[in-house]
Structure 1
Amino acid sequence: MTSPESGPTALVTVAHGTRNLAGNEIARLVAAAAAVRLGWPARASFVELSEPLFADVMVEAEGPTIVVPLLLSTGFHMRTDLPEAVEKASVPVVLGAPLGPDPLLAEAQVARLLEAGAVAGQRVVLVAAGSTDEAATRDQLAAVALLSRAWNGPVELATLSGHGSRPADVVRPGDAVSPYLLSPGFFHDRIRRECPDAAVVAEVIGAHELVVDLVVARASALAS
């Protein structure tokens, strides 16, 4: 299914899911705000660890549906889990690309850095969860380039797992750390623990207005 047929369009966002309740609430806030902007019904869903599960939402879908993943890079979920779940739907479904990398996410990261007290010219380390998928690594490097442009300063990459250097090997005293994460939870807690020398560790990207802008733009493009 490549485009929805006539009828009301619904938005479904799909995040990874976390045992952190506040983390899952980020996805719900983004979906709700996008729904108001689009004038569509919307529902937040999760790959795992929280309900409703995306696979169940696809089975329950009752009309044309646009899916905007709240995932920041390509990986197993994008390649396998989400397409397999979409196949279970009995209605037309359009599945979008991962949310990142994107210039709007980089702008939101800059806002979080400034809120945390980072200053112009300060060296920044973007810390991602990491992956063994080469496409995810390319996405993370693209996110670094976008953040460097938006920050107008040096940005390096560190990852908590998979390919890439670990924060302990990249973060220097006085650096600012920008978590490449949408929601708080296990990985954000690890970043705080593993970056003791950082002068600033920003909050996650979260339900920033620019994230809502991006979801609305992606959904509108998929529906056209």
Structure 2
Amino acid sequence: MTALVAVAHGSRDPRSAATVHALLDVVRALRPSLDVRGSFLDLSAPRLGDVLRAVRGAGHRSAVVVPLLLGKAFHARVDVPSAVAEARLPSLDVTIADVLGPDPRLESAALRRLASVGVGAERDWGVVLAGAGSSHAPANALVSSIARRWARESKWSGVEAAFASTASPDVPTAVERLRAGGALRIAVASWFLAPGLLPDRVAASAGGDAVIAPPLGPDPEVAELVLHRFESAVASDLAVQSA
């Protein structure tokens, strides 16, 4: 059977790895027969190459690497393929699945996190959708497009995308725009999978009266999405083999 090897970026913050492992526990609960393993690109253990070698040692002939990344920025486009190549495992057939985003299930999870901290549909809310920020413009554009759609479809006074680093606007600028547009209360929706340095930076810069939603974390729909990415990669491999 093909193994699922999830890979996250990694963080010095132990909450990050704990959240990733909690998400994978939900994935395992959804598919008990599947060998699901977690790994990291940097800063946390185990590293992706070590886990791929362990998968091969366990007798697997194939594995799908599922990047636990919300967009196709540098880590997805460069770091993950490089880590797979550096593992040098010719006896293990490794396929890299698509990243998690974009997908409506991520948005549902983010909205549930907002609801969990008491953010309703009232007009006086202004919502910041906060992501990491990237030098890869399409990754930032994805967050901005979600914010625009939420603004159209919600009753909130406004929704603004903001970024913790690299891209603009930053969170204080987004908050200022929302208040100028009539928002009386500010909430921050998280476009992060797990806690860490950047989500903490977002929370600290939002202002003391802002309501901060937690990261997406071990949400059932996020777990379903991880499995969907795995299954799509397996199906694509089978189609190529039968062509």
TM-score (norm 2): 0.82
- Whichever residue aligns with residue 187 of structure 2, its letter is A
Of the structure 1 ranges 78-87 and 137-146, higher mean CA displacement relative to structure 2 is found in: 137-146
Q: Which residue of 1 aligns with 2:129?
A: 126
The Cα offsets for residues 186-212 of structure 1, whole Å up to 9 and x where unpaired, read as 112111110015531111111111111
Quickly say closer, same or farther: Cα 1:149–1:105, change in 2 above 3 A. Answer: farther
| 1:71 alignment partner, one of 59, 69, 72 | 69
Q: Please say if residues 113 and 178 of structure 1, whose CA atoms lie closer than 8 Å, have aligned partners that are also in contact.
A: yes
Count of aligned positions: 217
Partner residue in 1 for 2:11: 18
Confirm or deny: 8 A CA contact 2:97 2:232 kept in the other structure.
Answer: no
How far off is 1:124 after superposition? 1.1
SS of the residue 1:123 aligns to: strand
Q: Which has the larger radius of gyration?
A: 2
Offset of residue 76 of structure 1: 1.3
CA 1:9 to 1:220, structure 2 compared with 1: closer, same or farther past 3 Å?
same
Match of 2:84 in 1: 86
RMSD, aligned CA? 1.9
Q: Counterpart in 2 of 1:139?
A: 142
Within 5 A, what are the aligned runs for 1:168-207? 168-171=172-175, 172=179, 174-196=185-207, 198-207=209-218
Identity of aligned residues (%): 33
The equivalent residue for 1:55 is 49
Residue 147 of structure 1: CA displacement?
Answer: 4.7
1:100 corresponding residue in structure 2: 101
Compared with structure 1, are the counterparts of its residues 152 and 12 closer, same or farther at alpha carbon in structure 2 (3 Å cutoff)?
Answer: farther
With the length of structure 1 as denominator, give the TM-score of the two structures: 0.88
3-state secondary structure, aligned to 2:42: coil
| Structure 1 residue runs without a partner (length 5+) | 1-7
- Give the stretch that moved more between structures: 107-116 or 76-85: 76-85
C-alpha change, 1:67 and 1:57, in structure 2 (3 Å) is same
Shift of 1:215: 0.8
- 4+ aligned runs moved over 6 Å, structure 1: none
| Residue identity opposite 2:103 in structure 1 | D
Asked if the contact 1:174–1:197 (Cα under 8 Å) also holds between the matched residues in 2, the reply is no
